[in-house]
Structure formats: C-alpha cells, structure tokens
Amino acid sequence: MSDTATTTGRAPSVYVPSAEALATVLAPGARPPRPNALSASLTFGWRALLKIKHVPEQLFDVTAFPIIMVLMFTYLFGGALAGSPRDYLQFFLPGIMVTSVVMITMYTGVGLNNDIEKGVFDRIRTLPVWRPAALVGMIFGDVLRYILAAVVILGVGLALGFRPDGGLLGVLAGIGLLVVFSFAFSWVWTFFGLVLRSEKSVMGVSMMVLFPLTFLSNVFVNPSTMPGWLQAFVKVNPITHLVASVRAAMAGSSDAANTMWLLLWSIGFVVVFGSLTMYRFNRR
C-alpha cells in the first residue's frame, strides 16, 4: 500500500497535500464547449488504441485465432470438398474471413461488460458528451481490429495459394463490405454487454448466436447440398448475404441482390440494436 513502493534507492517522498498546489488546480477556469459527436467518438476510439498499446496480448484474438481458423479448415475440408486444399481455398477464403471477423465482434460486448464491472463506465456515463460516443468510439477501435484480422487472413490465404480474380480493388471492396457489416453487427453485442451480468455470460450468449449463424451459411459448403429446411434458414441468414457479396467482390464481379440484403441487414442491426443499446445505456 505504500505510495513509494516503486521508487528505488531514494528517500521515500510522502505526498503531503499542499493547499497552494491544490489551489492552482481548483481555481475555476472557463468551461470549454462540449466536444461534438465525432470528436468525442474519436477520443473514445483513441482510448481503444491506447489499450492496444498497453495490452498488446489482446491482439491474439485478431491474429493467432484467424490464422488457426484458416489453416485448420483449409486442410481439414479442402481435400474432401474440393479435391485439394488449394482449390478449396479459392472458394473458402472469403467465407473464413467473414467467419473469423464476425466472431471477433463479440469482444465488443465483452469489453463493454468489463468496463461496467470495473467502474470506468460510471465515469463515462456522467460525462456531458454525446451519449453514444463511448460506444461508437469503442466500436471504432474494434473496426481497426477487424481490419487487422482481415488483412492477416488475406496474408495467410495468399501464402497458401489464394488468388482472387478481383485483384487489389476487389479484395479491398470485399474487406470494406465485411467491415461495414461488422460495425453494424457489433451493436448486437453492445446490447448484450449492457444487459448481461458477467463477461462469461456475454461470451456464452455470443457463442450460442455466432456458431449457428456462421456455420449454417454458405461459408463452408454450397447450400444446394443441404436439406430444404436448412436451405431456407441459410438463405435468409445475413452471413450468407455477406459471404456471397464478399466472394463476388473478391472474384472481380458483384452480387447486387446479396449486397443489397447485406446493407439492409446492416442498417437494421444499427437501428434496432443501436436503439436498444442506447435505451439500456441511458436507463441502467
């Protein structure tokens, strides 16, 4: 408990509050105008970057995990489904990129829940700033993680022989669609992060939602091989629309119908879960 535990070799300097020193910081200054919504959100985003700087281990989720996902499924299914891992990769890489990044979105909820538990959240909520800024900023930080994960997966894919016909532009467009959807989808987790009591339950719910959502889609295999009732689900699954759009973009074409569905889903997630989140945020 000593204040000087980490000073080395010097006489311990005990803090004595001095009235003069405190007076200099207590003199009421003019209050600056409150920051606008964007600047407040970016400041919260800066906080996320600082956290990455101080706790770089948290990047494991967006580096090691995606690499394992790509390697595992490419070599597990490649031979059986497409004759060779390399052939499978041409079909599979956009899908596993979507799966990995969408799975990472759940950490938004976990991080928020952690903030609530630690008490930081109380201070944030008493600040006179644009209310959604803290959450938007948090998701801005996460968007950087999504981009990093996507780039890592792309790198592994290229090393294993993935050759997208769409070239650099097609790949960028694909990653762009993925990031837009992930930003929107993160609002689902901010809501659960606020509603659920512990980090563990947030993880539990996330897994329960994410596993069926990502596996019951067109990520791994062509849906035409599935039974009719399953196809019905796969068809409306937003992940299916996303994967189809990303696949098309990376292949150098475009899939207008799926892209439209994907954007509609994204808007829907932001409107519905964004509102629910803000409702809970204000009323906790």
Partner 1 sequence: MIMSKRNTGLAVEADGLVRSFGATRALDGLDLQVPAGTVYGLLGPNGAGKTTAVRVLATLLRPDGGRARVFGHDVVTEADAVRARVSLTGQYASLDEDLTGSENLVLLGRLLGLPKLAARARAESLLAAFGLTEAAGRQVKKYSGGMRRRIDIAASILNTPDLLFLDEPTTGLDPRSRNQVWEIVRAVVAHGTTVLLTTQYLDEADQLAGRIAVIDHGKVIAEGTPGELKSSVGSGTIHVRLRDAGQRPEAEKLLQAALGVPVQLEADPVAMTARVGEEGSDLEASEQAARALGELARAGIVVDDFSLGQPSLDEVFLALTDHPAVAADERDDQLEAAR
Provide the minimum distance between the beta carbon of 257 and partner 1 in the complex, in angstroms, as a whole number: 43
What radius of gyration, in Å, describes the C-alpha atoms of the chain? 23
Distance between CA 284 and CA 255 in Å, rounded? 42
Q: Which of residues 123-152 bind partner 1 (CB under 8 A)?
A: 123, 125-129, 133
Please count the residues of this chain forming the interface with partner 1, following the rule CB under 8 A: 50
Q: How far is the CB of 16 from partner 1 (least distance, A)?
A: 8
Tokens of 135: 């959450």
**Residue 5 vs 80, nearer CB to partner 1:** 5
CB 251 within 8 A of CB 165: yes
The distance of closest approach from Cβ of residue 183 to partner 1 in the complex, given in angstroms and rounded to an integer, is 22
Site for partner 1 in 4-63 (CB under 8 A): 5-7, 13-19, 21-29, 31-35, 39-40, 43-44, 46-47, 50-51, 54-55
Contact 210, 103 (CB under 8 A): yes
Cα distance between residue 117 and residue 85, in whole Å: 44
3 binds partner 1 (CB under 8 A): yes
Distance CA 177, CA 187 (A): 16
Using CB under 8 A, pick the residue from 79, 122, 163, 212 that binds partner 1.
122
Q: Which is nearer to partner 1, 35 or 252 (CB)?
A: 35
Q: Does 2 bind partner 1 (CB under 8 A)?
A: yes
Residues whose CB is less than 8 angstroms from the CB of residue 180 and which lie 6 or more positions away in sequence, other chains included:
263, 266
Nearer to partner 1, 26 or 168 (CB): 26
Per-residue binder mask for partner 1 (CB under 8 A), 153-182, x = binder: ------------------------------
Cα–Cα distance for residue pair 76/84, rounded to 1 Å: 10
Contact 182, 105 (CB under 8 A): yes
CB of 281 to partner 1, least distance (A): 11
Q: Write a three-state SS string for 145-192.
A: HHHHHHHHHHHHHHHHCCCCCCHHHHHHHHHHHHHHHHHHHHHHHHHH
Closer residue to partner 1 in complex, CB, 31/222: 31
Q: Tell me which residues touch partner 1 (CB under 8 A).
A: 1-3, 5-7, 13-19, 21-29, 31-35, 39-40, 43-44, 46-47, 50-51, 54-55, 118-120, 122-123, 125-129, 133, 283-284
